[in-house]
Structure 1
């Protein structure tokens, strides 16, 4: 593990200045991903700028009925907040499904969005990996890939994004707020993660040196009727092999409004827009739900050992949407 310097920032401008002064510096939140990667040699920062003490740990209801979530809010506090549970229950469920209690107590909202793939080839510095060393290759395509991407991948990378929180935030049109030396900025989460293409090492659209300061959730009445479901290889804490965040508003037996996002199937949380188009205005029944899932998964390009994910995600979508529709009919 490379020796590194450590600084604790007390305000946003100070944090930005410390990062700007050292091109090999990194921001440190809870450290639940970054420190692990430092131990394996994947990440080798010369300096860590601790941002946990920044005044970014509030959750506020906005004037229009949305939520403003600070970047240093812990996962535990996010999941327990009464307004999150009431207005966006799938978000609270996703956070609770995402890690053990100890990790949730440390992990932060900003860090969660920036966590990196758990692909074994990425984590092993003795192996080639285009995400870690551009141009070195993607051994997962011919090797171990049973939990890799079926949507949006390329011949350069088939890794998946590990965030559960990000799936729910994607379904609810979250906006990421950030600060740079030139001032504040915003990125819709739909644009935050870059497509894999031939540059898998470029993961987000954040400007260089930017510090995430928070996430804004717009008002969404349908989000109050939402659910997050995660499938994993063991019942205890584990990363997903497939997950879904869904919200459904049914009126007179038809889908009035829907939000749908998939997890563990792509390099970023996957908004299921094709499925949403099929669902909107259609009967709220199992046949429609299956047709919507099929429309989204028509673009899937599974590898030899992860084709099961197509069936898994179809069944998962039908099951969760059916549960939400049945609850709406009561």
Structure 2
């Protein structure tokens, strides 16, 4: 996120505002769709944030199947939207899916954040001090009752982008070193650990239950409606501009791909229900898989129909 803000897809105000507004719509409307189906159930309503997430890896993966027919500006729009979307979901997790708070642990955590900021301000560019302080921060946030995901966000934002003299970028170095481990180990383990569904007590009739229905329609309908309508309004009200070489039909196709919640949505389901309400967790996971699959298929079809067959080289 920091790299994109300083020198990447979100560097310019015009490029940041458009996907930011779209991301807000892509979180608010799906949550409202889910609540529409579950407002009468006090237990089910805890999963309101399940369809608010977008799985960056899968959305970009589907888009890449269309090859060079996809304008670079459209790829940047989806990537920026998904980055902002994920950051918003992480904040939601920290605020709404945290347990009882520990004052001592929170105090230690705030002290570690202050140390990170001081090191950044003083121009410390070695990674080891940041990682050591970050480890203490993570443990403190974990024990505080706030979801520890937030510690990673704070640590990532505190590490300098530029090194001293001829030194390589500390932030890019860490991102590069982590990439293989994350892609080949953490992401697959995360996906398999969170995507498991116990079907022994599940029947076809359960698909009509309000939890899987709310989760599936929140992703398949709420996401594209929220992303597209907020994007359209932003352009009409002249708050933002469409990316170069992109029209609203292609924005709608990308909006459909944003309904790919998968791993993040399933993760939120485990936080909202977990072992305390395993049946609803199973229902939500099935809804997420259905909504994500439909979004991927329809999004690919829409983009394949609207993108130029022979793009300019």
Higher helix proportion (structure 1 or 2): 2
- Shorter-normalised TM range: under 0.3
Structure with more of its chain in strand, by fraction: 1
- Tell which has more relative contact order, 1 or 2 (C-alpha 8 A, sep 6+): 2
Q: TM-score, normalised by structure 2?
A: 0.22
TM-score normalised by length of structure 1: 0.21
